[in-house]
Amino acid sequence: MSNIPVIVNARSGPDGNTDDAGDIEAAFRQHGMGAHVTVMKPDNDIAKTVDAALAGGAGLLVAGGGDGTINAVAARLLDKDTTYGVLPLGTLNHFARDLGIPFDIEKATAVIAGDHPVTVDVGEVNDRIFLNNSSIGLYPRIVAERENAQKRLGIGKWPALIHATWNALRHPSSFNAVVCVDGKELHRRTPFIFVGNNAYVMEGFGIGKRPRLDGGLLSLYVLRPKTAFGLLSLGFRALFGIGSHVDDFESFEAADFRVESERASIMVATDGEVNAMTTPVQYRIRPRSLRVLAPAQSEAAGQAT
């Protein structure tokens, strides 16, 4: 069996260091597989690396990293016969979590060796994909303030994130939007619009998770206007999984919709990455467009193939 191409982001994970290719190769050998590990540095082009592997006839391609890396590789694999393996090496690993993939390298490699492919949905906004979610307003603002705090205060990512989140919640900023969904134009003033690839659990112990990834619909959540205290309370409850968020949001499910703004462009987050996008921003679901390996017991996360 030829070596399986494995693309790893050296910057992923809480310590910023996941470039121990030897550990990954050893985990693959333990399960009777060979791996050719490519460690991506900041100046490397992930898309070109993936395309080169596909041109070489790769029927299985594995990526190791956080949600941003997993997204970047997945973007080159949509609607292709190539199967995708995921090694969750980042900090949060939302996509792997909702697929039921363990965060331990050896256990995640066992999932790949188990060869149980499923097909899952992918969200898209203005031609940029997201495996987990996209958002407008509060979260892109927090990311921008976090990056500014890192540069201005010379502090690390996590202290900067806490600093930025605290500032954003204490000084809320709302924006006007027209949400065009289900044939209706909804004029709203909101601090936050959140779009999920499939529906998120909004209450109980499973809050923030998705029961399935192949439902064929996007979930749209428009946060109702909040005072500074209300946003702080919401942030606290979200952080500790307390109570329900059902009444905090106006929610919809749709295969596609658009968000209009008074501005020519707005900042939009996709799987944690923030980019400026021209308005209106158009969202759509791409049903079962990604073939990915998952634990056999997690068929609810995707259609088995």
pLDDT by residue (tens digit) across 16-52? 444 468 889 999 999 999 999 999 887 778 999 999 9
Average of per-residue pLDDT across 109-127? 97
Residue range 179-229, pLDDT digits in tens: 999 999 999 999 999 999 999 987 655 677 999 999 999 999 999 877 676
At 172, list the tokens: 């809320």
CA gap 108, 293 in Å, rounded = 10
- Quote the pTM value: 0.88
6 vs 48, 85, 95, 107, 235, CA distance in Å?
14, 9, 18, 16, 37
pLDDT of residue 235: 66
The residue ranking higher by pLDDT, 247 or 106, is 106
Q: Give Dmax over CA atoms of the chain in angstroms.
A: 60
Average pLDDT, the chain: 88
pLDDT of residue 16: 46
The residue ranking higher by pLDDT, 147 or 276, is 276
pLDDT of residue 18: 45
Cis peptide, bond prior to residue 172, ω within 30 of zero = no
Average of per-residue pLDDT across 251-268? 96
Residue 300 pLDDT grade (very low, low, confident, very high; cuts 50, 70, 90): very low
Residue range 150-167, pLDDT digits in tens: 888 888 888 888 888 888
